[in-house]
Amino acid sequence: MIASVLKIFISVFTIMGPFTVLPVFVAMTEGMSQIQKNHIARKAMLVSSSILVMSTVAGEELFYWLGISVSSFRIAGGILVLLMGINMLHAKRSSVRATDSELAEAKVREDIYVFPLGIPLIAGPGAISTVILFSTGHRDFSTILIVILSIIMSSILFYLLLRYSSYIYKALGETGNNIMMRLMGLILSAMAVEFIIKGIKDSFKAV
């Protein structure tokens, strides 16, 4: 049970991409006061965690409405997460989260805590797919509760990282940040392969 909780928590926190978002957040809030940075970080985490919680609760119902099987979504979600993991292994920000042009556009926006920080940088397609996949297939209260608690704990930890992002990024340096990103990319890639394998197995069982 504890191992399962830790697995979900680590997976959710990793797919939210703290060491991918960190340099973007530092760049986008450059010249702002610490109070402004804290305000943006807090609102970004509220927006992203709300989206992820709603996805956890309503994800499987959306599948039924669209006529998509869980196994098909598991394979597609696994491929998506794998692509993100491979990008992180090369210390690159995945364009699945946000393209360079989207980030450039966001520099003139006042609500950067919604776009691009809240979505798609933190609560991007990969994160949404992951929480849905963890909560589907079982649909018992305890599993959904574990996923939601993992989202909340990950959001709190993520907020603290953003709050002290300037110090952390300065301490790690670009090399240290890239090393952390690669480690998380490795975890994501392994998790993605599990999703794909399980999706393929479930597809064959359904035949």
* Measured distance CA(35)–CA(133) in Å, rounded: 36
pLDDT in tens, 27-66: 889 889 999 999 999 999 999 999 999 999 987 777 778 7
Q: Exposure string (b/e) for 64-87, b if CB count within 10 Å is 16 or more?
A: eeeeeebbebbbbbbebbbbbbeb
The domain limits of the chain are 2-206
Per the confidence metrics, is the pTM higher than 0.95? no
Q: Angle at Cα 122 formed by Cα 32 and Cα 194, nearest 5°?
A: 155
pLDDT in tens, 100-155: 666 666 655 668 999 889 998 999 889 999 999 998 866 678 889 999 999 999 99
CA 183 to chain CA mean position, Å: 15
* Measured distance CA(180)–CA(22) in Å, rounded: 11
Sign (positive/negative) of CA torsion 17, 19, 20, 25? positive
